[in-house]
Homo-oligomer: A and B are copies of this chain.
């Protein structure tokens, strides 16, 4: 487990200017001026109380700028358990029929949606209508059409829409992006992302086309795609893809088991990616440029990222990704901070447009120009 002190060290080491930093619960009581944070706190409701929401709730315990204040679930027993566990007011608990009443709730600034993919579109639009900011887990929606509607709805409602791209705040990843931007890899030539695992429980929603909108590509493949974009630092101009299904009884119609996809970038770099639900853990990024390379393995898992470049090992510290994400998202929503790599709805939409093209390319066998 990370300590709050570790996290403070991260923040202190970062380029970010922080007004006040509290050391811990105890230290916060005996006010140490440089360590006290008395800036605004993002008060977050979690929507969809599954495994990932639990991870976010636990991670938020270490946040100073974000706090869990509300819950939305369709299961009364879950609401009751979570309410007790996290000390949430009854008046801040909602179900899927009542959550638009959020508009009258002054204790909640934003809702983090971690429900199955197919529900994101309507829920995000509903939350926007209630005047609350939205953080949506990725993929933001089932396709680009839905995504564009969500972006438009949030814009119209005047609320921010962010997507749970936790890697965009990960220190080793940011170091690689810094190196790329400063030309340390030279001209980028090739990116390779292998992302996959053997998925378990056949009854989970991720293997249900109606709820997931697809298979591995919508879940783990998006890491390779999004990674290709933030590692290369350009938007792809074409995509090709090949789907392979070896276990049709396990991966039904519309649920992709394994997709290989390739991307071409305007600067001439190419990417080769693998998305799979049917292989032992694959979590590796490799990128090479004219002047150097980087390899990261694991590259996107929850645990510490490990990697090296032509200059040596990446030594930036590890912190719980979701803690850092929520701290940074608080800054983005409340203070208008601009992150190094975007995490807004437009960013989510870019991935969705390419995922649409990947599925089209796999289905038709054609190179799709973006």
Contact = CB atoms under 8 A, between A and B. Distances in A.
Interface residues of A, number: 28
A279 B189 contact: yes
A299 interface: no
Given A260-B270, A367-B365, A190 B240 contact: no
A270 B270 CA distance: 19
Contacts of A367: 242, 365
A322 interface: no
A74 interface: no
A280 B185 CA distance: 11
A246 B264 CA distance: 11
Contacts of A190: 194, 258, 274, 276, 279, 282
A173 interface: no
A330 interface: no
Interface string A270-284: 101010101110100
A128 B247 CA distance: 48
A244 interface: yes
A190 B270 CA distance: 20
A60 to B, nearest CB: 35
A143 interface: no
A290 interface: yes
B288 A264 contact: no
Interface string A312-343: 00000000000000000000000000000000
A64 interface: no
13 contacts: A189-B279, A192-B192, A192-B194, A240-B240, A240-B365, A260-B272, A262-B262, A279-B288, A280-B288, A280-B293, A282-B288, A365-B365, A365-B367
Interface of A: 189-190, 192, 194, 240, 242, 244, 246, 258, 260, 262, 264, 268, 270, 272, 274, 276, 278-280, 282, 286, 288, 290, 293, 365-367
